[in-house]
């Protein structure tokens, strides 16, 4: 019986699953950084390793795969990268690519209509109709958008620390940001030109790293309880994310709202507050949270192979994958 391989390649980790045509997952593999735009050197290796591990775990040769489906972050032009990486794992079958956001939506929904809101390092919302993304809001990257994302929160943490060191509102974020950036200068030490040494050092550290790495500072905002500046940052992030979703919601497309990405799947109270905002306005819409896009990529693989995926099949994918991938 021929099998399918599905991939979910993200900035932090890459996951792969081998499944049969009934939706039963047979093997699972996981590796590191898989975004071909952010980490062009590592992504092909990660994709090959995850696919090879999924085959090993399912005790199947590469020749058992009839079709692969890759959901790849930042992968507008990733066909070649993914194809070569899968060849490296011994898989010489047709390979299709899907948007990582569509895969994430499909992880949470057997339905082919609805919405997804993703907030990880970046942030975007989409409307899905007839199984395709028909409208997108934000997802414009750290310099032009991604409002409410991990980068956005991290940059706000940096700006709050800068303001504090420059005579603005005091916040516990300053200490956490300086620690995260390994700035050790004493907060009272004043350098040249009337400026705290810690502020000059913070600037030097920030400009020495790729800007998108400011997302490293986001955990500081989540770590503090009862800090007015941190609470305000998180509230503005939630409002921005809800506003991004609003820009794609329309009355005549029903279906669930699927939430995903680190901020919405791992930060429980943040995610709960977003759900609460949505519940109080998007009356009656079903809001679901997913960990990643792998169930969705597997579902899209089944559909690409001509198989109709109903709620029962979707549930088979979900439960058999959970059994394989749980620690």
Residue 147 near residue 241 (C-beta atoms within 8 A): yes
- Whose CA is closest to 179, among 162, 152, 196, 202? 202
Structure tokens at 298: 């597997």
Q: Which stretch binds a copy of itself (CB under 8 A): 2-10, 133-141, 219-227, 267-275?
A: 133-141
126 binds a copy of itself (CB under 8 A): yes
Site string for a copy of itself, 61-100 (x = CB under 8 A): --------------------------------------x-
Check residue 211 for interaction with a copy of itself (CB under 8 A).
yes
> Which listed residue (30, 127, 238, 318) binds a copy of itself by CB under 8 A?
127
In angstroms, the CA 233 to CA 222 distance is: 10
Cβ partners under 8 Å of residue 326, min gap 6: none
Nearest residue (CB) to a copy of itself, 87 versus 159: 159
One residue of 153, 214, 278, 298 binding a copy of itself per CB under 8 A? 214
Binders in 223-262 for a copy of itself, by CB under 8 A: 247
Q: Is residue 140 part of the contact set for a copy of itself (CB under 8 A)? A: yes
Residues 6+ apart with CB under 8 A from 280: none
Q: Which is nearer to a copy of itself, 134 or 279 (CB)?
A: 134
Q: Alpha-carbon dihedral of residues 149, 50, 39, 36, nearest 10 degrees?
A: -90
- Longest CA–CA span in the chain (Å) reads 73
**Partner residues linked to 117 by β-bridges:** 125, 259
Closest CB 110 distance from a copy of itself, rounded Å: 21
Q: Six-digit token pair at 35?
A: 């975004």
**Which residue ranges make up the site for a copy of itself (CB under 8 A)?**
99, 126-127, 133-137, 140-141, 143-145, 155, 158-159, 162, 166-167, 192-195, 199, 203, 206-207, 211, 214, 247
């Amino acid at each position: 019986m021929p099998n399918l391989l599905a991939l979910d390649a993200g900035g932090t980790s890459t996951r792969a699953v081998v499944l049969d045509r009934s939706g039963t997952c047979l093997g699972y593999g996981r590796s590191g950084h898989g975004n071909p735009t952010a980490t062009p050197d590592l992504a092909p290796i990660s994709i090959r390793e995850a696919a090879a591990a999924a085959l090993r775990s399912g005790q199947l040769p590469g020749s058992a795969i009839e079709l692969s489906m890759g959901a790849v972050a930042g992968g507008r032009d990733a066909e070649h990268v993914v194809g070569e990486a899968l060849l490296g794992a011994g898989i010489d079958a047709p390979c299709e690519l899907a948007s990582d956001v569509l895969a994430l939506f499909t992880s949470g929904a057997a339905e082919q209509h609805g919405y997804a809101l993703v907030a990880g390092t970046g942030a975007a919302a989409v409307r899905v109709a007839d199984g395709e993304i028909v409208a997108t809001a934000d997802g414009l990257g750290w310099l032009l958008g991604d409002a409410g994302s991990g980068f956005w929160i991290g940059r706000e943490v940096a700006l709050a620390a800068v303001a504090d060191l420059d005579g603005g509102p005091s916040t516990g974020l300053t200490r956490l940001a300086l620690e995260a950036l390994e700035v050790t200068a004493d907060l009272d030490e004043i350098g040249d030109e009337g400026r705290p040494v810690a502020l000059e050092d913070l600037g030097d550290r920030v400009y020495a790293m790729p800007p998108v790495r400011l997302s490293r500072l986001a955990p500081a905002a989540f770590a503090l309880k009862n800090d007015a500046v941190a609470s305000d940052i998180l509230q503005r992030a939630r409002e921005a994310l809800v506003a991004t979703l609003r820009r794609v919601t329309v009355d005549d497309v029903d279906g669930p709202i699927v939430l995903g990405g680190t901020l919405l799947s791992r930060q429980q109270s943040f995610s709960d507050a977003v759900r609460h905002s949505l519940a109080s306005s998007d009356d009656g819409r079903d809001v679901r949270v997913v960990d990643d896009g792998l169930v969705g990529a597997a579902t899209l693989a089944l559909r690409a192979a001509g198989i109709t995926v109903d709620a029962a099949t979707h549930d088979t994918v979900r439960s058999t994958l959970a059994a394989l991938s749980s620690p």
